[in-house]
Structure 1
């Protein structure tokens, strides 16, 4: 084993991509002192893409005051890349799930307004080239809050103007974009999506992601009906159909709103970042690649970083290991082409303890040790404690 490349996404709410990789690399070097380990911090469109791209390009951060998902004032940041022209906005900075306590999570109340404020601030400063990472959101408002921050008005069937929040999805009958910031038409938007889910439907934004953001069963039903109606209103307003568009359901429908109203290009965030760090060049002489995320399941195969890594290693025949705090849908993941699945959390350990950073580091080291000492020559098998 001469060279191992690590490209592991963050364990959200626990360890950053860099922290996970450094922990794994330390154990690998302890086991194989002469092995070259290459750590490539990665993100798939959600938390991490801002820091990664700004640092890679020697860019800078701009701080400004915006509203959080519950319309409370906070300081958030966006980045200017090293080219001094490109703005990088990470939706999670202003409208992210980590900004709320578990008790505060409620997609009927949360709004993407703060993300719109970040865009507005950059437009006012004269920037016209945008890269927006939309993972990690706390919202399911179809991007309506973002539009409101940029001048759009929402009205219900009685002509009453609506306030910010996911409830607007269920009540909007008309979207007035006559006062939308004119600078938007001068700008170019690329949206880094971490998933390919459509705006509505069984695989859409609401059914798949709203429960993770605190939605009850009845709220999921109401929001889904609202998203269906909203997709038609958006079609009537912009002429663009987003109901089944891959990626339009990312971030509670933010992908669809950016595509329809800003003429944005939706791209896999993971591929964008892998290209930026010259991933293909880094793995040319690798003996193994280790990728992963906090939880791996069927969603991993819908545009997440691990899948995009696998798509690049498979044609080269490089053994690719998937490491995650928890792994579900093992058969599906093995069928996709991962050589080995490595769940780091011992069976029976409670989630609250497992996501403690110190515990996670210990579990990563133990899992890496177990993998290399017991199964290196027996790929295609999951490691079980």
Structure 2
């Protein structure tokens, strides 16, 4: 039999690669000669670089960059030399987890470090990027990233703006003459699972600003500043980004990618599946195993197991999903390509115990499922 093993991470318990390994042990305990295709997955968020590095045989690279407040931090990204591919999670440089709550101020926070990561990857030979937009503490429309890449953001007097979203209220012109020329031949696959526009009640500042430290006054200030930025972006590039779905992701970083680079924004899991060649891996498979820490109604919003199931359905392959928790609303997934949803926790235990035993529990659940696959199918008279 041929199995495709395509789980996401089980947060705080297993990486996607560790989940694949546990699944394979479970399969081989029943089908020792099975063909097992390892395809660790992610949806563009945390763990995307790890998953693609494991799937494609790349490496994890660490570069010294500046965080959102300009402090030097080590940031890790994935690099697959054979495919000239870099996998960047913007949170590695501009992440909310890097800035204490009391220090968060989206008026001055910058995506400069994201640009530094891109430069480091270009220096290594990357010509394709997968960028996961999620977990940012910034609201600068990607201005800091552009500055790191060589663009100059100027006021009416020709003076360069300081970093941060609030300064964009004074933006008059964007000078691209110094931007890194290698970007002209580089493509960006943007993994994004939000559809917020750049501006307005559903935009970056209003929806995501509060968690980044913005009060009502700061939200209004930042929304107006991003409006000024959007206007200059359109006059510079000819591209309208203010109302584009996803432009408001990561504090408007989505807008910068869409306006200035050869970028395609798609659902995160679709970007990862394509980059890891998952559709091709499914050719001739008998069954697909997927999963993640929790499967419930939110899975229908485009999380990894759903993307895997949709792809398998196009190949006519059944999918079984495993989860630490199968929650409310999960039954709706049975109409979306799933043959079974299997909880892996065998009995009553604490959360800490379940997380610690995650790999062993997943292996046992997969083995039990495989034994069921060996049961003969008898037809009724």
TM range (shorter): 0.7 to 0.9
Q: Does 1:360 align with 2:358?
A: no
2:135 alignment counterpart:
137
CA distance in 2, matches of 1:367, 1:134: 27
Structure-to-structure mapping, 1:1-385, within 5 angstroms:
4-12=3-11, 15-23=14-22, 26=25, 32=30, 36=34, 38-60=37-59, 62-83=61-82, 85-100=84-99, 107-123=106-122, 125=123, 127=125, 129-138=127-136, 139-154=138-153, 161-168=160-167, 171-184=169-182, 186-195=184-193, 197-200=195-198, 204-205=203-204, 223-224=222-223, 226-294=225-293, 300-301=299-300, 303-315=302-314, 316-321=316-321, 323=323, 327=327, 330=330, 333=333, 336-341=336-341, 354=351, 359-362=354-357
Evaluate the alpha carbon distance shift between residue 158 and residue 89 of structure 1 in structure 2; reply closer, same or farther with a 3 A threshold: same
Q: Is the 8 A contact 1:137 1:252 kept in 2?
A: no
Q: Secondary structure at the match of 1:142?
A: coil
* Secondary structure of 1:8 counterpart: coil
- The aligned residue for residue 379 of structure 2 is none
SS in structure 2 at match of 1:245: coil
Count the aligned residue pairs.
Answer: 366
Distance 1:74 1:174 in 2: 31
User: What are the ranges of 5 or more consecutive residues in structure 2 without an aligned counterpart?
Assistant: 374-381
CA contact (8 A) 1:327 1:343 kept: no
Q: CA deviation at 1:79?
A: 4.8
Is the 2:154–2:175 Cα contact (8 Å) retained in structure 1? no
CA RMSD of aligned residues (A): 4.4
Q: Which runs of 5+ in 1 are unaligned?
A: 378-385
The 2-side partners of 1:280 and 1:255 are apart by: 27
Q: 1:113 deviation in Å?
A: 0.9
TM normalised by structure 2 equals 0.73
- In the aligned structure 2, how far is the partner of 1:166 from the partner of 1:324? 40
Larger radius of gyration: 2
Aligned partners of 1:107 and 1:214 also within 8 Å: yes
2-structure distance, mates of 1:325, 1:26: 21
Report deviation, 1:241. 1.5
Deviation, structure 1 residue 186: 3.3
| Paired residues of 1:97 and 1:136 also in contact (CA < 8 A) | no
Distance in 2, Cα, partners of 1:230 & 1:163 = 14
After superposition, what is the alpha-carbon deviation per residue over 1:256-290, rounded to whole angstroms, capped at 9, x for unaligned?
Answer: 20120123333445334323444234434545433
CA contact (8 A) 2:166 2:221 kept: no
Q: For the residues of structure 2 that align with 1:218 and 1:297, how far apart are their CA atoms?
A: 37
1:209-233, Cα deviation, whole Å (9 max, x unpaired): 5566566677656545554554334
State the distance in 1 between where 2:135 and 2:306 align.
21
Contact preservation (8 Å) 1:59, 1:84? no
- CA distance in 2 between counterparts of 1:324 and 1:216 reads 37
Question: What TM-score do the two structures reach when normalised by structure 1?
Answer: 0.73
Q: SS in structure 1 opposite 2:357?
A: helix
